[in-house]
Chains A and B, each alone.
Chain A
């Protein structure tokens, strides 16, 4: 079956620090990979995605590269802000064609807190 493993949290950083949240996966088939973010009191929002090997997803200064050889999709940001404080979820889908990404397998989530 499919599974996603994220680095344990919580992660606490000072503003402008570099962020890495590790994510590795196992999948039957060829997955599409996602990072979702959940701000306090809100629903999950798609942050970025990658649908094939070596693709780099990016959004709001965050990046993640689909590494098939290491089955990883680590999230990075060069300089975090207080407003980045949220819960981050790595996820994948192996639905047909990878274009239909409602049925997702999630990691356990990583709580990020950024201090001024």
Chain B
């Protein structure tokens, strides 16, 4: 299947700093990418839908000023966690939707805010 690469795989940052996570579709173009968050022993929760060249659509309860999403090209979307705090520590996963509608997932990024 298609490959989606997420970087970094894990990151530790200090409280108050910002962290950027990249999601790339390596062998296909993705007009739409999705960002999920997963808490320990819980399901993946959709945070936002990112469409190339337009503003992201955020799910209810997700702070768009806190989680900045940019989808500048058909192969790259970024999630920036701004002014991170310990409660933002989580596992973030992206997926990219191919032309036929199937979604392919990145391996996830473990964010720890200290």
| Interface range, A side | 20 to 34
Among listed B11-19, B62-70, B73-81, B95-103, interface-contacting one: B95-103
Count of chain B residues near A, Cβ 8 A: 26
Give the residues from 55 to 112 in chain A that come closer than 8 angstroms, CB to CB, to chain B: 89, 99-109
Interface SS majority for chain A: loop
Asked if A99 and B46 make an inter-chain contact with CB atoms under 8 angstroms apart, the answer reads: no
Main secondary structure of the interface of B (DSSP, over half): strand
Q: Which one of A43, A89, A99, A101 contacts B43 once the chains associate, using CB atoms below 8 Å?
A: A89
Q: Given A4-B43, A108-B43, is A43 in contact with B97 using a C-beta cutoff of 8 Å? A: no
A residues near B, CB below 8 A?
4, 36, 41-46, 89, 99-109
Q: Identify the 8 closest CB pairs spanning chains A and B, nearest first.
A: A102-B97, A43-B105, A44-B105, A102-B103, A106-B43, A43-B107, A108-B43, A100-B101
